[in-house]
Structure 1
Amino acid sequence: MTSSGRTNQLLYQAELLLAVLAGNDEHAVARRQSAEEGALALLELSLNSALRELTEHARLPRHEWRELLAADASPVAELTQLRSLAAQPESWLGWLLGRLQALHGVDGAARREVASPMTIAVAGQRDLGDELAGCIAEFKATLARLRETSVEW
């Protein structure tokens, strides 16, 4: 399998996990959270795979997103563009990195449902699954543009 094929496969698998129906039994919330956090973990693998793919020409020794997106990392053009995107919290990559930090934290990234009747719903708050689906779509669009630049090398 090629490096771009692996990246595509991981993104597809993340999309498949988001399509898992939670159901309405006593395990529905746990099933939804599992699918969301599983998709998020696959997105992390996808990000590392994409970074490997986009920097093959630079022959970097490591491809961990925490290292390559750090401010003092290698000055590869594709990485510079991604670092700029990551610095914008409202961008798909800024959002994703925040969710990945939460995923590795004690509380995890999946949102818990609060069953208290005293709770006021926040208008406009999207489900994590919906946000992940949007993130995947933007990830794919950015990746397509960066692949074009990378091929030129």
Structure 2
Amino acid sequence: MTARSRTNQLLYQAELLANLPGGDDEHAPSRQMALEEGALALFELALSSLLREVTEHARLPEHRWQVLLSQDGPALAELQRLRDLASQPESWVSWLVTQLERLHSDKGAAQRVTVNPALIALGGQADFRQQLLDNIQAAKREISALRETSLEW
């Protein structure tokens, strides 16, 4: 399998996992959290695969996203483009990095949702699952442009 195929596969699997229903039994909240964090972990693997894919021409010794996306990481156009996105709070890269830091912490990324019928839902607040799916879609759009830049090399 090529790096490109692996990236695509991981994004597809992350979407599949995020779209699975959590169910409606007593284990549903825990199951939903597991699905969300599992999809997020696949999204992290997709990011790592993408970085390997778009930097293969540079033959880098290190491929961890934490190193490649840091401000003192390698000076490559594709990486700088992703660093620039990471500095924009509304971008998929910024969202993903924030969520991955939470995923690797004791807190975790997925949040147990408790529904209180006496409360009015706040408009504009997407649940974690929807945010995950939206950011996967945004990543897929950006990846096409990154691949074009990488192929120029």
Per the shorter chain, which TM-score range? over 0.9
- Give the 5 Å matches for 1:41-60: 41-60=41-60
Q: CA deviation at 1:107?
A: 1.3
2:10 aligned partner = 10
Give 1:25's aligned residue: 25
Counterpart for residue 77 of structure 1: 77
Trace 1:1-153 onto structure 2 (pairs within 5 A).
1-115=1-115, 121-153=121-153
- Deviation of 1:3 after TM superposition, in Å, equals 0.5
SS in 1 for 2:94: helix
1:113 positional shift: 1.6
Identical aligned pairs, as a percentage? 54
Amino acid at match of 1:98: T
Moved more, 24-33 or 107-116: 107-116
TM-score with structure 2 setting the length: 0.95
* Residue 118 (structure 1) shift: 6.5
Secondary structure in 2 aligned to 1:94? helix
| TM-score of the aligned structures, taking structure 1 as reference length | 0.95
What's the offset of the Cα at 1:23?
A: 1.0
Structure 1 distance, partners of 2:115, 2:7, is 38
How far apart are 1:123 and its partner, in Å? 2.4
Write out per-residue CA displacement over residues 78-127 of structure 1, whole angstroms, 9 at most, x where no aligned residue.
00100000011111110111011111111101021235567554322111
Higher mean C-alpha deviation, range 142-151 or range 107-116: 107-116
* Corresponding residue SS for 1:6: helix
Matched position secondary structure for 1:15: helix
- Contact 2:30 / 2:112 at 8 angstroms: preserved in 1? no
Query: Which runs of 5 or more structure 2 residues have no equivalent in the other structure?
Result: none
How large is the Cα RMSD of the aligned pairs?
1.3
Give secondary structure in 2 for the equivalent of 1:147. helix
